[in-house]
Amino acid sequence: MTAGRPAGRFGARLAEAVTAHGPLCAGIDPHAPLLAAWGLTDDAAGVERFGRTVVAALAGHVACVKPQAAFFERHGSRGVAALERVLADAREAGLLTIVDAKRGDIGSTMDGYAEAFAGDSPLAGDAVTVSPYLGFGSLRPVLDLAAATGRGVFVLALTSNPEGAGVQHATGPDGRAVARVVAESAAAENAGAEPFGDVGLVVGATVGSAVRDLGIDLDAVNGPLLAPGVGAQGATAEDLRQVFGDARRLVLAASSREVLRAGPEPVALRDAARRSADAVRAALSA
């Protein structure tokens, strides 16, 4: 089984989806407490039903969904097969997917990850999250294959976990912070793309003044900015202004708990997604 290739560039398709449905990416995070709250078993069958329910409920109502691969992979091969079926449902429904896999390695191993998540594999969504902390150049296999197949890549840049700053804020010999190097490298990949490029960044909505303090120009990235922290994690309109500034037009807010805790009824999930999208739109335009 293969995924088939998307029609057109990821950045353009995402821009159309955001225009139609708002700047919200709904997570698909079937962790044990949420499965229990939905009355589902914590096994491959449970995570599959969870994911497929979310896709069926939200297709045509949100810009995209973001399955967290770890919650499927913890159930072994059957869990991975469940993720494949969730992604297949989304493709059939025309719903964009970002596979939150956060892969990162070097050489032939990164080639393998690229083929799995950006090639013609059934695990490939419309985009994948990756880690650049073996050097941005180590991402070349996934960047090149994603470009060839019409997919996108979201590169971790500034994450909201406290431990992240020790690496991301560190400066190299040229005085630039690691996160700034990541952002400027992504910008080079996106140069000249319209309405924006296919290489996005993951920037937490709760990182405060870090973008400004590190001298990062997010607007120059010219790619989507996937922003966890909106909704249940408490990012406010003022937080979004402080973190993203003029780059708010590029923000794709990631929200999981705000939407998923409304399930499992499809109507309730759609209503929660609509409220979240409206709140994000208002916060970004404030």
User: Is the overall model pTM greater than 0.85, yes or no?
Assistant: yes
88 domain residue, yes or no? yes
Quote the pLDDT of residue 171: 96
Residue 222 domain-assigned (yes or no): yes
- What mean pLDDT do residues 181-185 have? 98
How many distinct structural domains can be found in the chain? 1
In a domain, 55, yes or no: yes
Q: Which domain holds residue 121?
A: 10-281
60-69, 155-164, 182-191, 277-286: which has the minimum mean pLDDT? 277-286
Considering the chain, what percentage of its residues have pLDDT values greater than 90?
Answer: 85
Whether residue 94 lies inside any domain: the answer is yes
Mean pLDDT of the residues in the chain: 94
Query: Is residue 1, in this structure, part of any structural domain at all?
Result: no
Higher pLDDT, 125 or 240: 125
Residue 138: partners with Cβ closer than 8 Å, 6 or more residues away: 104, 105, 106, 110, 132
For the cut 80, the answer to whether the pLDDT of residue 1 exceeds it is no
Active-site residue flag, 66: no
Of 175, 179, 122, 132, residue with least CA distance to 153: 132
Task: Give the pLDDT confidence score for residue 232 in this predicted structure.
Answer: 57
Q: What is the pLDDT of residue 231?
A: 60
Q: What is the pLDDT of residue 239?
A: 83
Residue 4 within any structural domain of the chain: no
Per-residue model confidence as pLDDT tens digits over 215-235:
999 999 999 999 998 765 567
CATH value at residue 56: 3.20.20.70
What's the pLDDT tens digit per position in 244-261?
Answer: 999 999 999 998 888 999
- The residue-averaged pLDDT of 239-244 equals 87
Q: Residue 12: which pLDDT band, with cuts at 50, 70 and 90?
A: very high
Is there a domain that residue 92 lies in? yes
pLDDT tens digits along 68-125: 999 999 999 999 999 999 999 999 999 999 999 999 999 999 999 999 999 999 999 9
Which residue in 31, 102, 176, 249 is the catalytic one? 102
Q: Tell me what pLDDT residue 74 has.
A: 98
Residue range 166-191: average pLDDT?
A: 97
For residue 236, name the pLDDT band (cuts at 50, 70, 90): confident
Residue-level pLDDT at 37: 97
* Any domain includes 3: no
Q: What does the pLDDT read at residue 233?
A: 59
